[in-house]
A and B are shown apart, each in its own frame.
Chain A
Amino acid sequence: MSSDVSAAPTASGAAQPDLQATHVTKHYGAFHAVDDLSLEVARGSFFSILGPSGCGKTTLLRMIAGFLSPDSGAIEIGGQAMNGVPPNRRPVNMVFQHLALFPMMNVGDNVGYGLARRGVAKDEIKRRVGDMLERVSLPGAQDKRVDQLSGGQKQRVAIARSLVLEPTLLLLDEPLGALDLKLREHMKIELKQLQAAFGTTFVYITHDQSEALVLSDHVAVMNHGRFEQVGTPQQLYYEPQTPFVAGFVGANNRIAGRASDVNGNMVTVTSADGMVVPARAMGQVQRGDAVEAFVRPEVARLARQSITLADAGLPFFSARVASLLFDGANSAVLLHEENSHTEFRIALPQTGQFADLAVGERVHFGFDPQRAVCFTPSQAERSA
């Protein structure tokens, strides 16, 4: 929301955060890659930084890892100030985007590399590497070459290589980006289970909102070098604080217009095309303000008879079906509202009730205004 957004509300209350950044800034010339940003990550939690490419999330991660130093501000890891501490002396390890496994070494040497650098005795390394490979379900893979592993196995070796050093913090730089869709879905679950099993604090950066929502205890949505909002996945999804978050996290129908009526926290938004939408105000909204309203596709209800919606007490609209977007459980329908021709996306219910819906058919839709959100002009401008 603003630069002062600090602190994911910590689950464990007063426990010392594993990672604390205060007013961290990094410029490249006039470009603010990371702009006066503060955050706290609670011990043992899975924290994601979600943002579009170029939002500064990689710069932030590299500052935490120690590959970049902030222009101003401080980073503390496990209560220790990290300014001027090089990456090889930080209690932090990183899983790289393309994993960066050492192709000149076998799996065992990859996992044992960090221990060997610390001067751990050979037998001890062998034992701990064996244990670690067992914990990531790759028992006995020590002698395999890196190029003999599948994508998912490489992923696990990369994580094992870092976790064997028992870091305070594990940083993950979009490690699932290079995998195909099916494997990515599988690795998401595996990653979450690994984090739960090890209890290490994970800081994960991604541009994929589904990864962030599925994996994380807390997510920070980042844009233009700042955090727009920090919260649980549910908070981000149901209570977005800025139009950017509403538009970036999950699918959303966006209706821009003016607040033609304000009644308590309920606003009536009238778009330029004449669609009139009721929505709940996030922050202060004055009558006549330019506003943006957001309605999630799954919030709206579809009906063939308008009476169904009227009986349920929902404000409703009439529309024609413009196209059907079949995608199994994620199927949706694109409608054109009858008066304003505003495009509107609605998720199809899984009951099969609308399985025979045809393009051009006249339908009705309505939604609970409490579950639609609308933002004030200043916030709308800031994200523009």
Chain B
Amino acid sequence: MPTESTRSAMPYARLMLMLLLAPALLWLLGLIVLPHVELGILSLRARVAPRVYEASLAQYRTFIEEPLYWHTFVRTALMSILATAITLVMAFPIAWTIAKLARGRNKSMLFVLCLIPFWVSETVRTLGWMILLRESGVLPQLLVWLGLSPAPIEMLYHDATILVGLVYTSMLFMVIPLISALESLDDSLIEAAYDLGGNGWSILRQIVIPHAAPGIVAGCIVVFMLTLGNYLTPTLLGGKNSQWFTEQIYTQFITRFNWEQGAAFGFLLLGLSTAIVWAGLRLSGQKFGEVMQRS
């Protein structure tokens, strides 16, 4: 039974809650729901005459009929998956070192080292890669100087260059959920497995990875989405060859001023990332809510 005072306090409590939630709700409604509704409507219409539109699936048909579009689409998805996988493989030993091996000052030092690159804007960081990798850049010159290549090699504008940039940009977002997942792993579980006859590989497979799975999946989802939606890195490091789907969207909106087509592409990308994340969760047997608590 609520007492007199709690009963009178309840409307206030509810009002406070509403006020506190208001910014988040406004943000959700204004910046996510409304634009998507608008884009959704845009993507489902076609221009038949100046200022005359009718509902149609023409935008989506264009996507299917034009090989360049869906080729770019599939390529972006595969490259993103590959970048995510490389990031995971590279971030795991780093996270393991920080979570399990480093102690005290070293631990915070290593963590700060992971963080420092992010104090610089992504544009500047990517330009840094360009300085290193372009034909007249540091690395090709070094190779010539060492006698390993007769003439400077152009290292920009390859798929590998794009992957390097994407992995570099995403590393921190994989390392952090992995560290928190690995730190919560009790060392005595590893010792117990070792004591019962396990070796490094079997302990990794049977104890460490199952324990860290929510963290691994969380990191993968974040990195995958960031990579899939990245515009700057593929454009700068891949140049004309990058063929990243976000560039297609940009071109439709800005260069071609074809908002209908751009909106349709946007929705296709949204569908793609949703489908791949769903498939990833299904394959790893994880639950979305559980995973998101870890990240």
Chain A residues with CB under 8 Å of chain B are 65-67, 86-88, 92-94, 96-98, 100, 102-105, 113-114, 117-118, 161-162, 165
Contact = CB atoms under 8 A, between A and B. Distances in A.
Given A102-B207, A104-B207, A161 B196 contact: yes
A283 B193 CA distance: 48
B198 A113 contact: yes
Given A102-B207, A104-B211, A117-B202, A93 B188 contact: no
A61 B136 CA distance: 62
A53 B188 CA distance: 19
Contacts, number: 58
Contacts of A98: 186, 188
B189 interface: yes
Could you tell me the dominant secondary structure of chain B's interface residues?
helix
Contact of A88 (B186, B189, B199): B199
A165 B210 CA distance: 24
Given A96-B188, A117-B202, A102 B195 contact: no
B194 A87 contact: yes
B209 to A, nearest CB: 9
Contacts of B197: 88, 114, 117-118, 165
B192 interface: yes
A87 B195 contact: yes
A299 to B, nearest CB: 42
A102 B193 contact: yes
| 9 closest A-B pairs by CB | A117-B197, A114-B196, A100-B192, A104-B210, A100-B188, A96-B188, A87-B195, A88-B197, A94-B195
B191 A100 contact: yes
Among A65, A105, A113, chain B packs the most CB atoms within 10 A around the CB of A113
B191 A102 contact: no
Contacts of B196: 88, 93, 113-114, 117, 161-162, 165
B208 to A, nearest CB: 10
**Interface size grouping (class) on chain B:** 10 to 19
Contacts of B207: 102, 104
B63 to A, nearest CB: 43
Contacts of A161: 196
A117 B207 CA distance: 13
Nearest to B207: A102
B287 to A, nearest CB: 15
Given A102-B206, A104-B207, 4 more contacts: A100-B186, A102-B207, A104-B206, A117-B196
Interface string B9-46: 00000000000000000000000000000000000000
B210 A97 contact: no
Nearest to A173: B188
Contact of B198 (A96, A105, A117): A117
B185 to A, nearest CB: 10
B155 to A, nearest CB: 43
Contacts of A102: 189, 192-193, 206-207
Contacts of B210: 104
Contacts of A165: 196-197
Contacts of A88: 194-199
A98 B191 CA distance: 12
A117 B200 CA distance: 12
A67 B173 CA distance: 34
B194 to A, nearest CB: 5
A67 B189 contact: no
Nearest to B187: A100
Contacts of B189: 100, 102
Contact of B192 (A66, A92, A96, A118): A96
Interface string B210-232: 11000000000000000000000
Among A66, A88, A105, chain B packs the most CB atoms within 10 A around the CB of A88
Contacts of B211: 103-104
17 contacts: A65-B195, A67-B191, A87-B195, A88-B194, A88-B198, A92-B195, A93-B195, A93-B196, A100-B188, A100-B192, A103-B211, A104-B211, A113-B206, A114-B196, A114-B197, A161-B196, A165-B196
A323 to B, nearest CB: 43
B227 to A, nearest CB: 29
B69 to A, nearest CB: 43
A94 B188 CA distance: 11
A281 to B, nearest CB: 46
A96 B191 contact: yes
Contacts of A97: 188
Contacts of B186: 98, 100
A124 to B, nearest CB: 15
A362 to B, nearest CB: 56
A97 B186 CA distance: 12
Nearest to B192: A100
A118 B202 CA distance: 12
A228 B186 CA distance: 34
B271 to A, nearest CB: 33
